[in-house]
Structure 1
Amino acid sequence: MAVKHIRLWTGFGTFLSVAAAGSATAATVFDDSHAPMMLAQGGEGSEEDRPSSYKLLSNDPQAYAFDVRPQVQAYAKLVQSSYAASANGADRMRTAIKAMLAKPSAETLAAARAAWVEARPAYIVTEAFRFYDGPIDVRPDGETGPEPHINAWPVNEAFIDYVKGQPRSGIIGDAKVALTRESILARDQVSDESDVTTGWHAIEFLLWGQDLDIKGPGNRPFTDYVAGKASNDRRRLYLSTITDMLVDDLRSLEVQWAPDADNYRRKFLALEPREALGRVINGMANLVGHELATERLSVALDSGDQEDEHSCFSDTTHQDHLYDLRGAYNVWLGGSAETMAPDSLRALTMSIDPALASRTDALFTQALAAVTLMDVPFDSILRAPNGSPPRQRAEAAVAAFQALGVQLAKVGKRLGVLVIVPGLETATG
C-alpha cells in the first residue's frame, strides 16, 4: 500500500555492543554469526529507519570472498529496462484514452480499459525495486519520490468524482477547483491517505467507476465523457491530466536508471557492491514478505472490505498479486521469469550454496502456484466465510509469501547482507 511503509525494526536487528561502560560509541562487531551493523532508529518512513549499513561483517576473511558486482550491474540494467517498459505501456494507455476522449463510445471506452489492464503488469513488476529509498521512494533532493502519486490506494472515490448517492461530489464536481497538475497534486492525500487524486487507481476509477456488481467490475457509462456538459468536460480534463502525469512520473524513473548519466544509477553502481546488493535483496524480500503478504492480502482478508482490494474497480487484483511476485522472481533470475541470466542472484547463490538456491527456487514455485490458485475476482474471496475453500487458498498464499520472504532474508545473510522484512523475524535468518 502506498505511503504506508510500516517498519518494525525493534527486536529484529542485532545491535552493536558498547565498546566500554559509559562509552557513547558502538564497537564494530566481528563474529561467526555475521552480526549485522547497528540499525538507526527514526520515524515511520524516514531515512533514519534504514540500516546504517547493509553489509554483514565476519571474523572469517573468506566468509564473503566472492564478487557481487556482476549481479549489481545486471540489476541496474533490469531496473532501467523495466521502467522503460512500464512507461511505454502507460504511454500506449494514454493513446487509447485520448482516442476515447476524441470519440466517446462503448467501444472506445472498452479499448481504454483494455489498455489500462495491459499496461499494469509492466508497472507491477517494478515494485520489486522499492523499499530501499531508491528514486521511486526518495527523490534526488531528499523529498518523497513519485510512488505515492503513481500507485496509491485505497481510493476514496467521492474525493474525485460522483459516487452512488452523491451525484456532485469530488474535485470534478466542484467547479471552483481549477483542474491543473498543481491543483490536483495540492489535494493529493492531504487530510487522509485515501484521498488519492492521481495515479493508476485514480485513472482506474475514472475508467470503470465504482464496482457495485458483486460478479464483475465497475460499469461507468461512456456518456460520462461526451463533451458539452460541465461535469463531463471537467472529467475529461481531469482524466487527461492525471494520465499525462503518470506517464511523466514513469519516464522520470526510467531517466534515473539510465546508463551513462549523472543520476541514481551512477550513485547506485558507485556503492560498495554488497551495500548495493543489500538494497536489491531488501526490495524484493519486502515486496513479497510484507507488502504483498500483509498489505495486499492479509489486510483485505481481515477486514473483508472491498475498499482494501488493490485494483477493485477493474477487478484485476489477481494480476497485481501475480506480477508483484513475478517482479521479485525477475530479480532472482536476473531478467524475465522465463530465463536465468549467468549474472543473476540465483546463479551467484547456486555457486556458493546450491541447497539454499534450490530451496529458494522451490519456494518461488510454491508461491507462484499459490497465487494462481486464488479465486477470481479477488473480492469474491472477501465475501467468502472464514474457513471456506476460497479463504483457505488465499491464506495459503499469504503463508507462501511470508515463507519466501524469510527465505530471501536467508539468501541475503549467506551473501553477506542484512535483510529485514517488517513482521518477520528475518534479521538473523
Structure 2
Amino acid sequence: MLYGCGLYICTLVLLVKQKYAGGYMRNLLLTSAVVAFSLQAHAVKAPYKNNESLNREVISNYSDLALLNYNDSLQGARALKSEIAKFVKLAKKGSKLASKQYDIVKKTWSLEARMPYGQSEIFRFYNGPIDFEPIDDGVTTYLESINFEGVEGLMNAWPLDEIYIDYVKEDSTAGLVNNRNIKLTKDVLVSMNEREGEKNISTGYHAIEFLLWGQDRSIDTAGQRPYTDYVDGGTAKNQDRRREYLSLLIDLLDDHLSTVTNQWQVGEKNYRTEFLKRDSNSVLTDIFTSMISMAGDELKSERIENAFLLEDQEEEHSCFSDQTINDIYTNALGVKNIYFGDYVAHNSSKSINGKGINDLVAFVNPELDQAITKKFDSLFNNINFFYKKSRNGQVQIGSIETPFDRALTTNKVEIQNIIDDLGSIDELLREAASELGLEIE
C-alpha cells in the first residue's frame, strides 16, 4: 500500500483590492516566502529531509521511556521477590497461610512482574543492553569496552523443557531440583541455562512460572502445582531445594534487570550517553528495526502463528500460567508505546507522553500516520476480545476471559484477526521507515 507524500510547496494566495482608474480590480499575489518543503510528486517517495531538532526530541523521549519501562519492570520484579520471600518462609514453617500466599505470588508474577516487562521487550533487536553481543567490526562501543553481557536469554527464554528443571508427570525425579548432586547457586543456574540445548532453560520468568504453576495439562485451567510441593513432608520430593531454587531465580531476575536498567540511567557513563550522541538516522533505524521485528517476526510469527498453525499449547509463550494473552497485549503495547512516545507505569503513578515516531511520520506523510494509528486501534480492539468485561462493557486488561490455548481451537478467527493486524503494522512501519529515508535490513 502506497501513501503519497503529504508535503508540497506552500503558497500564500492573497486577494488584494487595488484602486485603479476610479474603480477596483482583484489581483492574485503569489508569494514563495512561506515555502518550507521540497516539491515531491504525489506517488513518489523521497528521502526524509531531516528535522534534527524533532529527531532529537523523539530519541530523547525514547530514552526516558526505556528507563521508566525498565524501572517499572524492576519494581515489579522486586514486588515478586518480596512475595516469594514471604511464601518460602511460610512454606518452610509448614504454615497453613502458605496456601494463600502462594496465590498472591502467582498473581504478582502475572501482573506486577510480567505486565511491564512484556512492554520492555520492544528494546530488543538492535544490540542494545538487553540482548547485547560484541561485534567484530573494528569499532569499540561502550558496552564492548566494559565487557558487558546481554541478559535477555537469561530472563525470558522460551519455550522451556520442564523436565530440565523439575519433575513432570512422566518422571517424578527429573530436573535440577531433584538432582541433589548439583549445588544450587546463582552461578550454577546461569551456567546451566541453555546448556546442551536451547530449550534447557534454567533461569528467568518462565522458569519461575513453571515452578509456580507446574505443567499445564488442560485447556480448561492453568497448571495446578500444589503449594505443598514447597512444604517439607508435603507433595513431590526435595521441597527444600524447590524453595531454594525459586529464591535464587528471583534474585537473579533482580540482578539482571538492574544491570539493564542501569544502562539507561540519566547522567552516567553508560549506554544511554553513547546512544544519545549517535547519528540520529542510525538511532532511528534501530528504533524502527525493533518495532518491525517485534510486530512481525517475533510476536506475529514466533509467538502467535507457530502455536496457531500447530494448534499446540506447548508453543504458547506463557503456557504454564495461561497468561499468553497478556504477553500478546504487552508486546503489542510496547510497539505502540514507541510509536506514540507514551508509557503508563504499572507499578507507580508515573507516565510519559512525549514526542514519538508518529510525529516524524506525520511530518512527512500524515495519511500514512493515520493509517498506522487506525491499525493499532484495530489490533487492540481484537486483543480486547480475550479479556473479561465489566457490566458496563469496560475491558478488564489483565483479566483473561478466553485463554490462548483454548482459543487455538475455539476462536481461530479472532486469533487470525490479530495476526493480520500485526502483519499490516509490520508493512506500514516498513513503509514509514522508507518515507523517512531509513534503510531497514
Q: Structure 2 length normalisation: TM-score?
A: 0.77
**Structural mapping, 1:361-380, within 5 Å:** 361-374=373-386, 376-380=402-406
Is 2:305 the partner of 1:298? yes
Percent identity for Structure 1 against Structure 2: 31
Q: 1: distance between equivalents of 2:367 and 2:278? A: 29
The structural deviation recorded for 1:192 is: 1.4
Is 2:99 the partner of 1:106? yes
The structural deviation recorded for 1:305 is: 1.8
Q: 2: distance between equivalents of 1:269 and 1:143? A: 19
Q: 2: distance between equivalents of 1:93 and 1:168? A: 28
Counterpart of 1:103 in structure 2: which amino acid? L
User: After TM superposition, what 4+ stretches of structure 1 lie above 3 angstroms from structure 2?
Assistant: 62-67, 141-144, 227-230, 337-342
Q: 2: distance between equivalents of 1:217 and 1:253? A: 31
Is 2:127 the partner of 1:133? yes
Which residue matches 1:257?
A: 264
Which residue matches 2:216?
A: 211
Counterpart of 2:247 in structure 1: which amino acid? S
Q: 1: distance between equivalents of 2:80 and 2:376? A: 31
Describe the SS at the equivalent of 2:238. helix
| 1:172 paired residue among 177, 181, 185 | 177
Describe the SS at the equivalent of 1:103. helix
The structural deviation recorded for 1:63 is: 3.3
Is 2:398 the partner of 1:381? no
Which residue matches 2:231?
A: 226
| 2:342/2:354 contact within 8 Å kept | no
Counterpart of 2:198 in structure 1: which amino acid? E
The structural deviation recorded for 1:337 is: 6.7
Describe the SS at the equivalent of 1:408. helix
Which residue matches 1:95?
A: 82
**Structural mapping, 1:245-284, within 5 Å:** 245-284=252-291
The structural deviation recorded for 1:336 is: 2.4
The structural deviation recorded for 1:144 is: 5.2
Counterpart of 2:407 in structure 1: which amino acid? I
Is 2:89 the partner of 1:63? no
| 2:115 paired residue among 121, 124, 127 | 121
Q: 1: distance between equivalents of 2:254 and 2:422? A: 30
Describe the SS at the equivalent of 1:136. helix
| 2:69/2:343 contact within 8 Å kept | no
The structural deviation recorded for 1:257 is: 0.6
Which residue matches 2:422?
A: 401
Describe the SS at the equivalent of 1:152. coil
The structural deviation recorded for 1:397 is: 1.0
Root-mean-square deviation (CA, aligned residues, Å) is: 2.2
Q: 1: distance between equivalents of 2:157 and 2:290? A: 18
The structural deviation recorded for 1:349 is: 2.0
| 1:409/1:418 contact within 8 Å kept | no
Q: 2: distance between equivalents of 1:214 and 1:63? A: 53
Q: 2: distance between equivalents of 1:181 and 1:337? A: 33
Describe the SS at the equivalent of 1:242. helix
Counterpart of 2:416 in structure 1: which amino acid? E
Cα shift readout 1:213-243 (whole Å, capped 9, x = no counterpart): 3201111111111147861111111110011
| 1:124/1:324 contact within 8 Å kept | yes
Is 2:416 the partner of 1:416? no
- Bigger drift between 181-190 and 232-241 goes to 181-190
Which residue matches 2:66?
A: 79
**Structural mapping, 1:5-44, within 5 Å:** none
Which residue matches 1:426?
A: none
Q: 2: distance between equivalents of 1:286 and 1:318? A: 19
In the alignment of these two chains, the number of paired residues is 359
Q: 1: distance between equivalents of 2:159 and 2:324? A: 12
| 2:190 paired residue among 185, 193, 205 | 185
**Structural mapping, 1:148-163, within 5 Å:** 148-163=153-168
| 2:61/2:354 contact within 8 Å kept | no
The structural deviation recorded for 1:266 is: 1.0
Q: 2: distance between equivalents of 1:108 and 1:77? A: 35
Larger radius of gyration: 2
Counterpart of 2:249 in structure 1: which amino acid? I
Cα shift readout 1:59-98 (whole Å, capped 9, x = no counterpart): x7x7335541110111011001110100110000010011
For structure 1, the 5+ residue unaligned runs are 1-31, 34-56, 421-429
Which residue matches 1:320?
A: 327
Q: 2: distance between equivalents of 1:84 and 1:337? A: 12
| 2:160/2:199 contact within 8 Å kept | yes
| 2:249 paired residue among 236, 242, 247 | 242
| 1:326/1:337 contact within 8 Å kept | no
Q: 2: distance between equivalents of 1:353 and 1:127? A: 28
Q: Structure 1 length normalisation: TM-score?
A: 0.79
Describe the SS at the equivalent of 1:122. helix
Cα shift readout 1:385-407 (whole Å, capped 9, x = no counterpart): xxxx6112211211110110111
Which residue matches 1:390?
A: 411
For structure 2, the 5+ residue unaligned runs are 1-39, 92-97, 134-142, 346-350, 387-400
Is 2:207 the partner of 1:202? yes
- Bigger drift between 225-234 and 130-139 goes to 225-234
Q: 1: distance between equivalents of 2:155 and 2:224? A: 23
